[in-house]
């Protein structure tokens, strides 16, 4: 473990403002891609990450295989994803309320146009990508999907990332 990382951990656990600020900067940087989707939930995620860092640092779970910054980055990313998945569990109920009889013709046309666009994008993807998207949208965890598919969780994450990139390419072609 790097000496600087060790000092940061000790300082964080002791409540030193400089160490806490350093970890907080890492959290903010790691959560940046999620901030728009987290909206008001970012404060909760931030507190969850601080609590998890306190637990992991205090329990000597950080082995120093990577930098402390990347360790905090992973903790933050996992917390953001958990928060988004938890919020998504409620989204279907909310969308049913919005899609009631009070929906304007313009809103209905926009929704139908988005659905057609998504179908074109999905149709342009491989069967494997469509299956991965189905599982991700069904809120299955990477660990569960990896066990079901007989691959490592890291391999599965890379496959999902590549499918996401292919979907974005398809979207760019259709715009």
pLDDT for the residue numbered 102:
65
Q: What is the pLDDT of residues 95-115, one digit of tens each?
A: 444 445 567 777 777 777 777
Q: How many CA atoms lie within 13 A of 131 on its CB side?
A: 9
What count of other Cβ atoms lies within 10 Å of the Cβ of residue 90?
A: 9
Give whole-number Cα distances, 120 to 11, 90, 111, in Å.
52, 27, 14
Within 10 A of 112 (CB to CB), how many other CB atoms are there?
Answer: 10
> The pTM is what?
0.50
Q: How confident is the model at residue 144 (pLDDT cuts 50, 70, 90)?
A: confident
**% of the chain residues with pLDDT over 90:** 22
Q: What is the residue-averaged pLDDT of the chain?
A: 82
Where are the chain's structural domains? Answer: 3-88, 102-174
Burial class (CB in 10 A: 0-12, 13-18, 19+), 36: exposed
pLDDT tens per residue across span 30-66 = 988 888 887 777 888 888 899 999 999 888 888 878 8
* Interval 123-152 mean pLDDT: 85
Angle, vertex CA 83, rays to CA 96 and CA 138, nearest 5:
55
Task: Give the residue, 15 or 175, on which the prediction is more confident.
Answer: 15
Tokens of 105: 């013709």
Residue 124 contacts residue 133 (beta carbons within 8 Å): no
pLDDT in tens, 72-92: 999 999 998 888 887 666 544
CATH code for the domain defined by 3-88: 1.10.1740
CATH entry 1.20.1300 includes domain 102-174:
no
The predicted pLDDT at position 1 comes to 59
Q: Give pLDDT, residue 19.
A: 93
């Amino acid at each position: 473990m790097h000496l600087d990382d060790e000092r940061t951990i000790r300082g964080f656990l002791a409540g030193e403002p400089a160490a806490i600020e350093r970890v907080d900067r890492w959290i903010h940087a790691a959560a940046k891609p999620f901030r728009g989707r987290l909206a008001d939930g970012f404060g909760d995620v931030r507190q969850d990450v601080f609590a998890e860092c306190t637990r992991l640092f205090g329990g000597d779970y950080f082995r120093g295989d990577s930098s402390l910054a990347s360790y905090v980055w992973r903790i933050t990313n996992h917390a953001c994803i958990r928060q988004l998945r938890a919020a998504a569990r409620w989204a279907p109920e909310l969308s049913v309320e919005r899609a009631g009889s009070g929906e304007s013709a313009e809103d209905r046309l926009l929704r139908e146009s988005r659905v057609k666009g998504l179908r074109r994008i999905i149709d342009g993807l491989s069967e494997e990508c469509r299956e991965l998207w189905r599982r991700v949208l069904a809120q299955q965890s990477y660990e569960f999907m990896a066990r079901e598919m007989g691959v490592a969780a890291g391999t599965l994450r890379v496959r999902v990332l590549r499918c996401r990139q292919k979907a974005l390419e398809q979207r760019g072609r259709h715009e």
